[in-house]
Amino acid sequence: MKNEFHNMSDAELNTKLQELKSELFNLRFRHASGQLENPVSIRTCKRDIARVNTEIRARQAKA
Ordered per-residue pLDDT tens for the chain, 63 residues: 557 888 999 999 999 999 999 999 999 999 999 999 999 999 999 999 999 999 999 999 988
DSSP state, residue 37: S
| Domain total in the chain | 1
Domain that holds residue 41: 2-62
- Per the CB < 8 A criterion, the answer to whether 49 and 24 are in contact is yes
* 56 vs 50: CA distance, rounded Å: 10
Determine if the pTM surpasses 0.85: yes
Report in angstroms the alpha-carbon separations of 31 from 21, 26, 40, 54, 62: 15, 8, 11, 26, 39
Give the CATH number for residue 49. 1.10.287.310
With CA atoms as reference, report the closest residue to 53 among 18, 27, 7. 18
